[in-house]
Amino acid sequence: MTRYGPMFGPDFTFLGVDRCDLTDPESFADADIVILGAPFDGGTSARSGARFGPKALREACYLPHDGSRPSLALRVDGLKDLRVYDAGDVECYSGDVETSIANIEEAVHTIASSGAIPLVLGGDHTLALPDARGVARHHGFGQVSMLHFDAHADTGNIEFGHLYGHGQPMRRLIESGAIRGDRFLQIGLRGYWPEPETLSWMAQQRMRSYEMTEIVSRGLETCLSEAFAIALDECEGVFLSVDIDVCDPGHAPGTGTPEPGGLSARQLLDSVRRICYELPVVGMEIVEVAPPYDHADITAYLGNRVVLEALSGMARRRHDAEHGTTWDPTRPLLDGR
């Protein structure tokens, strides 16, 4: 069940891109990307509020909402060079997790099976289960790897007496067979959870988790390159899951479970750009933006830019494939102008 338009506030699309209706396949038949809101935060274990994330991510920009965003770095316009639509929000009732995630999975699968890439605006991280599973249903269980940016492993088992929540989706995904444990790459973990029992389960699944101490010691770029090689082995595509709390709370205060000591905003944006330029991304989500805890829209602006960096990276990847070129990040901005 897909709602035509946002659940909360005024009816507008992501930065003014065209609308589509998932009940009308013709309305997105030529889509490269379909943006989908999933305003669900019934799986939060601490502070709720991420249900307002899709609205905040759609509107967080001081530039005109005119469906155009030329990237200074990549020299493409992700909103114009790709055919991007906004399908509005899946209608979610946060008191009914089973119905909500079933509806989200169906909407994501509808987009993926049309040949477009679903880009989901969350919502809490419970969404990883329906989002990645909806994509895997189209591409094949075990054929999609996961790059998971997060402060938390989200591999818990039962929380508050329930199997579903934002601390458990990665375990449920692996148990379902949608994503292989040995093709599950986590980046940015830190803090004081999970406990040894859960870590042992993760090791048994052959997950690869890059904790912040390792990232600082070895370098983020080195860790990413290693993760990319694993992600592409025996998998045809990559699902990118970005929990905004992967960033230090100084860069992303508006989130439900902030954990000090994370990535900087610059590191996250560069990582997302690199992933979407270098890898065959077949699905993506940006989750855990909780506007009630934001300050001066810092987190919403960062989340909006995560989406734009992803779209720009995908657009440049296509451009270079079509023209036989390679993006050069050292090229001066005004070179050749």
Interval 224-266: pLDDT, tens: 999 999 999 999 999 999 999 999 999 999 999 999 999 999 9
User: The pTM is what?
Assistant: 0.97
Instruction: Check residue 207 and give its pLDDT.
Output: 98
Instruction: Check residue 4 and give its pLDDT.
Output: 65
Residue 137 has pLDDT above 80, yes or no: yes
Pairwise CA distance, residues 166 & 124, whole Å = 6
Pairwise CA distance, residues 4 & 291, whole Å = 22
Pairwise CA distance, residues 123 & 42, whole Å = 9
Pairwise CA distance, residues 225 & 278, whole Å = 10
Amino acid at residue number 35: I
Instruction: Check residue 199 and give its pLDDT.
Output: 98
Q: Which run of H or E residues covers position 257? A: none
Which residues have CB under 8 Å from 281's CB, separation 6+?
Answer: 117, 237, 238, 239, 240, 275, 310, 314
Residue 246 is given by DSSP the state G
Strands 184-189 and 18-19: unpaired
Instruction: Check residue 1 and give its pLDDT.
Output: 47
Residue 95 has pLDDT above 60, yes or no: yes
The two tokens of residue 122 are 């969350």
Pairwise CA distance, residues 2 & 209, whole Å = 34
Instruction: Check residue 160 and give its pLDDT.
Output: 81
pLDDT tens sequence across 1-38: 455 688 999 999 999 999 999 999 999 999 999 999 99
The two tokens of residue 104 are 């989200």
**Averaged pLDDT, 142-163:** 93
The two tokens of residue 288 are 């855990």
Which percentage of the chain shows pLDDT scores above 90? 94
Q: Inter-axis angle of helices 97-113 and 128-139, to 10 degrees?
A: 30
Pairwise CA distance, residues 309 & 155, whole Å = 27
Which of helix, strand or coil describes residue 240? strand
> Sign of the CA dihedral 254, 260, 266, 272?
negative
The two tokens of residue 115 are 């040949």
Instruction: Check residue 337 and give its pLDDT.
Output: 66
Instruction: Check residue 106 and give its pLDDT.
Output: 98
Pairwise CA distance, residues 135 & 39, whole Å = 19
pLDDT tens sequence across 296-320: 999 999 999 999 999 999 999 999 9
Q: Where are the beta strands (DSSP E) in 99-155?
A: 117-122, 144-149
C-alpha 293 chain-centroid distance = 20
pLDDT tens sequence across 79-91: 999 999 999 999 9
R_g of the chain, CA atoms, integer Å: 18
pLDDT band per the 50, 70, 90 thresholds, residue 65: very high
The residue written with tokens 């609205």 in the block is 55
Beta partners for 147?
185, 240
pLDDT band per the 50, 70, 90 thresholds, residue 158: confident
- Residues 18, 22, 23, 27, Cα dihedral to 10°: 40
The residue written with tokens 């490269």 in the block is 32
Q: Does 194 sit behind a cis peptide bond, omega within 30 degrees of 0 on the bond before it? A: yes
pLDDT band per the 50, 70, 90 thresholds, residue 39: very high
Instruction: Check residue 94 and give its pLDDT.
Output: 85
> Sign of the CA dihedral 257, 262, 266, 270?
negative
